[in-house]
Amino acid sequence: MIPTDHPRARSLMTRERLVDGFRRNLVVAEGLIAHGRGEAFDYLLGERTPEPAIKAVRAAAALLLLSKNAVLSVNGNAAALCPKEVVELAGVTGAKIEVNLFYRTDERELAIKAELERHGARQVLGVGERASARIPELSSERRRVDPDGIFAADMVFVPLEDGDRAEALARMGKGVITVDLNPLSRTAKAARITIVDNLVRSMPALVQEARALKGKDATTLQQLVDNFDNDENLAESLAIIRGGAK
């Protein structure tokens, strides 16, 4: 039991959620290691959402609202950490939800689909036979996608991604939005918009921002996207990490 007054209670509770997700077959063991790497960056960020991430969240919400055919790609860590927010974000933006795993097994696909449905998802793409399309020039299991989902999407939201697929999606002409605590990762660099923040903070913020921007005219939304420079934003995040949290 983690005492709620522990100075790092939130971080410890997030670990518990991942371990619980691991026991329920949502998260793969490697996902726990990936989270540890993320935690190290988060520690350097001061475990709070920095200004560049707030800007990135706003631009990402605008871009999701502008997209005609957006898909939220869900892996094991995302399913364990923020299933409710994934479903909410899909609801606000009209995006589809697709399970896409690096360490793909039928059992995990089904467990993640069930978890999303438990939180209100009406349709979950990419499971079983549905993942019949292929992302070209990608050899990992992540190449298997749903023809009605990621394969046809104009915009793909891929939190905690591996760089290969983010690059391959960009080569296919798709817009990529990611959440990655590591501003130096290939994913962070390949994406149109990278939110350098912890997923547990950025997902509720994205839902809130999408709600606030919904109904704004397309020109206003487009301006938010056009004014966002991903390279510049990554450099700002890196400066915070290198300089110590302010």
Residue nearer to ligand PTJ on the CB measure, 133 or 223 = 133
Is 48 a binder of ligand PTJ (CB under 6 A)?
no
The enclosing H or E element of 56 equals helix 51-66
Residue nearer to ligand PTJ on the CB measure, 179 or 207 = 179
- Looking at 49, 67, 73, 75, which residue binds ligand PTJ (CB under 6 A)? 75
Name 130's Cβ contacts closer than 8 Å, sequence gap at least 6: 146, 148, 149
Residue nearer to ligand PTJ on the CB measure, 66 or 145 = 145
Is 82 a binder of ligand PTJ (CB under 6 A)?
no
Is 73 a binder of ligand PTJ (CB under 6 A)?
no
Structural contact between residues 53 and 228, judged by C-beta atoms closer than 8 angstroms: no
> Which residues on neighbouring strands pair with residue 111, listed in sequence order?
none
* CA 19 to mean position of chain CA atoms: 19
Q: Which stretch binds ligand PTJ (CB under 6 A): 101-109, 209-217, 223-231, 232-240?
A: 101-109
Q: Give CA–CA dist 59/224, Å, rounded.
A: 5
Residue nearer to ligand PTJ on the CB measure, 66 or 234 = 234
Q: Give CA–CA dist 27/145, Å, rounded.
A: 19
Report the relative pairing of strands 144-145 and 133-134 from DSSP bridges.
antiparallel
- Looking at 97, 101, 158, 224, which residue binds ligand PTJ (CB under 6 A)? 101
Is 168 a binder of ligand PTJ (CB under 6 A)?
no
Is 102 a binder of ligand PTJ (CB under 6 A)?
yes
Is 56 a binder of ligand PTJ (CB under 6 A)?
no
- Looking at 31, 50, 126, 183, which residue binds ligand PTJ (CB under 6 A)? 31
Helix 230-243 to helix 29-44 angle, to the nearest 10 degrees?
80
Helix 218-226 to helix 51-66 angle, to the nearest 10 degrees?
140
> Contact positions toward ligand PTJ, by CB under 6 A?
28, 30-31, 34-35, 37-38, 41, 75-77, 101-103, 160, 162, 179-182, 185, 198-199
